Structure 1
Amino acid sequence: MVTGTTSLVLSDRYSRENPAPASASPIICNRSHLNYDICSINSPTVLDPKASTFYVTGHTISKPQVEKIQPYPRKWDKFRMNRIKEFNLTSGPPSPPCMVQHNATALVFSVGGYDGDFFSDFYDEFIPLFITINSLFSGKDLVLVISNVRGWWIWRYADLLQSFNKHPIINLDNDTTTHCFPSATIGLMSLDLKSKNPKPTTNSKIILQFHQLLEKTYGHNHSSNSPSLKTRPQLVLAGRRGAIGRLIMNRAEVKKVAEDEGFDVVEFDPKYAIPMHEVYALLSSSHVLVGVHGAALTHLLFLRPGSVLVQVVPLATEWLAERCFGILAREMDLDYMDYKIGVGESSLVDKYGKDHMALKDPAGFLEKNRGWTSMTVETYLKKQNVRLDLDRFRGYLKKAFVKAKAFMDREG
């Protein structure tokens, strides 16, 4: 079990720790953060979607200013950023005529990182959107302007988007109309999952607050699935069916052991076709979530605070497991346990033999191969599956049951 008080670092220091310099320019950009750039246009502006350009109006400046920005909060990730549309912000040439007038400021961002990746949907998009709105626009009227968006994404998250903003979103991928705004912000703040020294912030409850938004959005849909009707703690066993790597090879046996230890077990294979309110109903009425490190564990955001999360950690993924889900689990006030597999539980034994450096010394293997390269990602994340030691894992399930039963008796 992981212990300690490690906390997320919020990257909301745009307005607190890195104030923009005084300037007569209507365009101000802050590029000091590792994860994101963010620009503001503090003047009326016209957006031309065809040119991906914001033109400043109503402001005279002797020397025209031009800025470029890709509004996605993972600027260190070159692979993803190559897929993100770039925007031009200019105070120079005259703007095209305005066709649609808006009385609310524009908040512009992209959702084009990894299409269909549930982890990215929340960690790179919705949580940064929540942080940005609550840090810079609390109580203010906004129009969400989104690029690199897919129709399925809008359908999938329609309810959540409405919880952020009352206005219809502007989808820049199928819009050719010029839009006028009194001001605009381009880019999103983000959680700092790469910080080497995470520490509490002035708003360390941001993840709990985001969970409250999820509950407000989806919680009213599952009144018929009240957790008070359960007599045994419910454990959700998250799978990766259809995914590449990190499968539980003895999943049926793991389910049987969990049932023997007193759980009602629900096998859950995330699919985009399942309505979000159904997924939320399942997780928020459960007491334990178990899964191998991977995007499915993002569903920890749907658990009730006080629930139990057991993350199965494959070889070499300890740092990733902690940064992606361990820290967030504690921020969610979950009772977090990590099950680090042994060499004999990794399918890599069959490929390399137990004495190979990739198994005996994963840290050395990563260092030798220059960290997380395409080769090491292929080895540890795509080729590695797990076969859990049932006797050892049973011990974790026993502890999880005690915690879950106490939570169920207390909260239902």
Structure 2
Amino acid sequence: MPSEKKVISSFTVKVGLALFAGCILAPISLMTMFRLAVPLQTLRLLFSVGSVSSMTLGEQTGSADGAALFCDMSSPRSDVCELKGDVRVFLPNTTIVFLHPTIRRRSWRMKPHARKNDRHALSSVTEVSLSVVASSSLRHAPSGCTAESAAPAVIFSAGGYAGNMFHDFTDVLVPLFITASRFHGEVHFLVSDAPSWWLDKYQPLLRMLSRHAIIDMNRRSSEVLCYRHVIVGLRFHKEMSIDAAKTVGGRYSMADFARLARTSYGLERDRAIQLPRNDNNNGGSGVESHHRPRLLIISRKATRAFTNVDAIARTASILGYNVVVGEADQQSDLAALARLVNSCDVLVCLHGAVLTNLVFLPAGAVVVQVVPLGGLEAAAVEAFGAPARDMGLGYVQYNIAVEESSQAARVLAEPPAVRKEGWLALWSAYLVGQNVTLDVARFRGALSRALELLRH
């Protein structure tokens, strides 16, 4: 027994010496780190950086001086960390250091994008490294800040499927609205993976959410920005929509986002035409001439095009619509298309990203979504039907019959096999190259239903 006590005592002394040496070296290393914009590999040496999944779900830690850290990893679509206190953002290496008086040193990584389980999307999203260090260890260190701000900051990525309008809205712009609206424009946006054309395209909307110039994290190489409040990641509720009950104070809805979108692009119409309930057949039209609503048919330029637009337009005109036909794709001038959509009361479009322009419709307008073959009925409702209703729009879904599709033979031959391969296979097999020739007699029912909704 005496010999065992001697061994334990010797071991304790060695551990004590090692800890003492660590306490001396750590502040020196940290002081050096904050004096210079350190390379990422140096941070990896200083901290043991783990994946974001190593954080406890919904962990919240605070201190007497108001410093707090809260990370919510419970959503299947997005991870969000909120830091309040002394937060320093190293732009050269996309690193965030949070000085906290009580939290033990820890580090983790996360990708601030609202499609967290989609590996294909995340492959183009820049990873952010977060480190929490004891503020007491930096008491005598210079701040290292090249700029300080009292306004909060939101850090996010515009990567993933950037350029696809639906994903731009459902993965980035709507979650950004959810996350940043409570700051009423007094917030900084730090964005990565955003091409200059992307920032230009959505600049009107981004300006409505923040009064400050956007900070492009990929194009600023030597700055250390210091904040008292930083949110990393964007909150996601559901596809291209908002659950008002989950917003701060329950104050924001998808109708509010749509109103902001219309305002940001200078659109004049807030409400669609409301038809009188006593409209009756006027020469077979169903609408009196002075109450004719304006109907827009968007025909895509390439895939998923209507092949009989003229016949569709004639049928709509007979029912009492003033018909406008427009072509659009992902490269269309967004501001011009937004003005055209806003000028109309009913929007007819095949399922696809172009239908995202429904956010520019005036309240009370009606969306008629034409769904091609491929088992897309439920996905169509989730992507555009539910959001349309959340915006205060009427919604009509027209699922085409087999004989209306240019892909009829292929879809009938192999739908189960293709669906098992996942969304990308489904998109390639059925959506790319599938055009639609509407049965106008059958489609007349959908157009009549849209008129009924305008009467309500």
TM superposition score category, shorter chain reference = 0.7 to 0.9
Q: How far apart are 1:174 and its partner, in Å?
A: 0.7
2:432 pairs with 1:382: yes
The partner residue of 1:391 within 400, 421, 441 is 441
Which is bigger in relative contact order (C-alpha 8 A, separation at least 6)? 1
The partner residue of 1:163 within 204, 208, 214 is 208
Structure 1 residues 166 and 175: alpha-carbon distance in aligned structure 2, compared to 1, 3 A threshold: same
Task: Say which SS state the counterpart of residue 183 (structure 1) adopts.
Answer: strand
2:326 pairs with 1:268: yes
Q: How far apart are 1:276 and its partner, in Å?
A: 4.1
Contact 2:82/2:231 (CA < 8 Å) preserved in 1? yes
**Superposition pairs of residues 47-86 of structure 1, within 5 angstroms:** 47-57=89-99, 59-61=100-102, 63-86=104-127
Q: Using the alignment, how far apart are the partners of 2:421 and 2:381 within structure 1? A: 17
Q: Using the alignment, how far apart are the partners of 1:199 and 1:274 within structure 2? A: 30
Contact 1:305/1:334 (CA < 8 Å) preserved in 2? yes
Task: Say which SS state the counterpart of residue 42 (structure 1) adopts.
Answer: strand
1:4 corresponds in structure 2 to: none
Deviation string, structure 1 residues 57-80 (Cα, Å, up to 9, x no partner): 4x3457421121111011121110
2:148 corresponds in structure 1 to: 101
Contact 1:227/1:285 (CA < 8 Å) preserved in 2? no
Q: Match for 1:173: what amino acid?
A: N
1:331 corresponds in structure 2 to: 390
Contact 2:94/2:127 (CA < 8 Å) preserved in 1? yes
The partner residue of 1:239 within 299, 311, 322 is 299
Deviation string, structure 1 residues 72-121 (Cα, Å, up to 9, x no partner): 01112111011110001112497982212222111111111212111112
The partner residue of 1:305 within 352, 360, 363 is 363
The partner residue of 2:227 within 181, 186, 191 is 181
2:54 corresponds in structure 1 to: none
Q: Using the alignment, how far apart are the partners of 2:88 and 2:233 within structure 1? A: 17
290-299 vs 265-274, which moves further: 265-274
Structure 1 residues 205 and 99: alpha-carbon distance in aligned structure 2, compared to 1, 3 A threshold: closer
Deviation string, structure 1 residues 345-393 (Cα, Å, up to 9, x no partner): 12122446x5x253xxxxx456xx5262543332222243222112111
Contact 1:114/1:120 (CA < 8 Å) preserved in 2? yes
The partner residue of 1:21 within 40, 46, 60 is 60
Q: Using the alignment, how far apart are the partners of 2:364 and 2:423 within structure 1? A: 37
1:150 corresponds in structure 2 to: 195
Q: Match for 1:395: what amino acid?
A: G
Structure 1 residues 386 and 272: alpha-carbon distance in aligned structure 2, compared to 1, 3 A threshold: closer
Contact 2:61/2:69 (CA < 8 Å) preserved in 1? no
The partner residue of 2:403 within 321, 330, 344 is 344
Higher helix proportion = 2
1:126 corresponds in structure 2 to: 173
Q: Match for 2:126: what amino acid?
A: K
Structure 1 residues 200 and 140: alpha-carbon distance in aligned structure 2, compared to 1, 3 A threshold: closer
Choose 1 or 2 for highest CA Rg: 2
Q: How far apart are 1:302 and its partner, in Å?
A: 1.1
Identify unmatched segments of 5+ residues in structure 1. 1-17, 359-363, 408-412
Contact 1:53/1:89 (CA < 8 Å) preserved in 2? yes
Would you say how many aligned residue pairs link Structure 1 and Structure 2?
A: 371
Q: Using the alignment, how far apart are the partners of 1:124 and 1:27 within structure 2? A: 24
TM-score, length-scaled by structure 2: 0.73
Structure 1 residues 122 and 193: alpha-carbon distance in aligned structure 2, compared to 1, 3 A threshold: closer
Identify unmatched segments of 5+ residues in structure 2. 1-56, 275-288
2:49 corresponds in structure 1 to: none
Structure 1 residues 32 and 62: alpha-carbon distance in aligned structure 2, compared to 1, 3 A threshold: closer
